[in-house]
Amino acid sequence: MSAWLFIARPLPGTVGETRRVAHLFPEPTTPDTITAYCGAAFGPHQLELLDTVGGMPCEACLARSPRP
């Protein structure tokens, strides 16, 4: 069984520009809050979904994400 992952980063203005890293997320279980593998939590309308891998990655998300 494989897990669904998605990549998103905070929208401009929600965090400082240097903190707009690409986070890895498991498939969300609740629509209210989405929590990345690093533990960063975001509410509705705070993220932009990335359709390709790009931008500066969140190193903590990479370290904690599931391996193939």
- pLDDT at position 2 is 66
Residue 46: other Cβ atoms inside 10 A: 16
Is residue 49 scored above 90 in pLDDT?
yes
Cα–Cα dist 54/27, whole Å: 19
Query: Concatenated DSSP letters for the chain?
Result: ----EEEEEEPBTTB-GGG-PBEEEEPPS-SS-EE-TTS-EE-TTSEEEESSS-S-B-HHHHHHSPP-
pLDDT tens sequence across 13-47: 988 888 999 999 998 877 789 999 999 999 989 99
- pLDDT at position 66 is 87
- pLDDT at position 27 is 86
Identify the band that residue 53 occupies on the pLDDT scale cut at 50, 70 and 90.
confident
